[in-house]
Amino acid sequence: MENLTKRFGDFTAVDAISFDIKKGEIFGLLGPNGAGKTTTISMLSTLLEPTSGNAQVNGIDIQEDQDGVRKSIGIVFQDQSLDEELTAWENMDFHGRLYRIPKEIREERITDLLQLVELEERKESLVKTFSGGMRRRLEIARGLLHEPAVLFLDEPTLGLDPQTRNHLWTYIQTLNHTKGITIILTTHYMDEADRLCDRIAIIDRGTIIAMDTPEELKKRVGSDVVTVTSPDSERIAQEISAPWISGAEQHDGQVTIRLHDAEEHITELIRLFGDHGYAITSVSIHKPTLEDVFLHYTGKTIREDEAGAADRMRMMMMGRRH
């Protein structure tokens, strides 16, 4: 993808972004609502024409060969896109026919996929009787029916309860491992991006501000923190030292020690405490999260940013929605 840009009037939703996605990886676009994630996905899936720039999906140019791109992608939209008046099976069947999958293969795959997402028993039920999680699973199954090389998931777990989210994450990982499907997902949930993605691009106001593996991104932001509660906190703060400790501060009976690779050094640290004869009440490790990464790059938390950008974008894109 090179310099992909989309403008709506004066508003630039996606501003000359470029990135490469490797075959078989789970790639995350992380950013607040309205950052340009869905617009990017819409362009890659040929639903929107880019204002400028170009991109290839599965080696196929998105503007020159739209049908070629469409055949090689599956997509689960942010907003529900099932026909509620049809049954689960009929929704799948409709999709299979649209992608011209021959009857026998179609029926076999539908059965397999409905089993995979555990909706086999409800296949004859109308979708309007389904819960949010069931609908999402059905949509993922549908997106896989024509065996796409690339699967787009736009906010796959938006509005789902924690249990269902966990369930879906497992599905997504399994799919990626067993079928080798390249997955591109957008999310504004930090934990989702962290747990699922091999690589993440952080996107804000239409531009990519950082891109790497979650681990690397977090490392770049800075050091881990170990917090120690101890009656000897003042002494610890003054005396503790090691090559991998970058600083220690004491307040309210607690010491916060900044260091690199906390997991690796925690046993050594505990031993140091023992050698010095400190009394320790409790120890906790805090690793930087993607939230810290976002804060670091944008100077604001993802939540703070959401209201403003989301409203702007909704107005542009979803004026017709209620």
Partner 1 sequence: MDIVYTLWLRSVKRYVRSKSRIIGSLGMPVFFLLALGFGLNSVVQIPGGAGENYLQFLVPGIIAMSVLFTSVFSGIQIIWDKQFGFLKETLVAPVSRLEIMLGQTLGGATTAVIQGAFILIISLFIGLKLTSISGFVIAFLFMTLIGICFAAFGIAIASKMEDMHGFQLIMNFVVFPIFGLSGALFPIESLPEWVVPLTLIDPLTYGVEGIRYGLLGTSAIHPLICLAALSAFTIVMIVVGALLFRKASI
Tokens encoding 282 = 């409790």
Q: What SS3 class is residue 108?
A: helix
CB of 216 to partner 1, least distance (A): 33
Nearest to partner 1 of 26, 92 (CB atom): 92
CB of 267 to partner 1, least distance (A): 53
Q: Does residue number 22 form part of the binding site for partner 1 (CB under 8 A)?
A: no
Tokens encoding 142 = 């549908």
Q: What would the 3-class secondary structure string for 27-48 be?
A: EEEECCCCCCHHHHHHHHCCCC
Tokens encoding 85 = 């008046």
CB of 10 to partner 1, least distance (A): 18
Nearest to partner 1 of 83, 234 (CB atom): 83
Nearest to partner 1 of 8, 244 (CB atom): 8
Kindly identify the residues of this chain, within the stretch 142-201, that bind partner 1 according to CB under 8 A: 142
What would the x/- binding string for partner 1 be over residues 58 to 97, using CB under 8 A?
--------xxx-xx-x-x-x-xxxxxxxx---x---xx-x
Identify any residues that bridge with 201 across adjacent strands, giving them in sequence order.
29, 211
What would the x/- binding string for partner 1 be over residues 92 to 121, using CB under 8 A?
--xx-xxxx---------------------
> CA 132, CA 298: separation in Å to the nearest integer?
33
Q: What SS3 class is residue 301?
A: coil
CB of 86 to partner 1, least distance (A): 7
Pick the stretch among 40-48, 104-112, 166-174, 301-309 that binds partner 1 (CB under 8 A): 40-48
Kindly identify the residues of this chain, within the stretch 41-60, that bind partner 1 according to CB under 8 A: 45-47
> CA 230, CA 315: separation in Å to the nearest integer?
53
> CA 22, CA 24: separation in Å to the nearest integer?
6
Tally of CA atoms within 13 A in the half-sphere of 129 that contains its CB: 9
Task: Give, for 254, the enclosing helix (H) or strand (E).
Answer: strand 254-259
What would the x/- binding string for partner 1 be over residues 258 to 297, using CB under 8 A?
----------------------------------------
Q: Give the dihedral of Cα atoms 119, 137, 81, 178; nearest 10 deg.
A: -110
Q: Which residues bind partner 1 (CB under 8 A)?
A: 45-47, 66-68, 70-71, 73, 75, 77, 79-86, 90, 94-95, 97-100, 142, 319-322
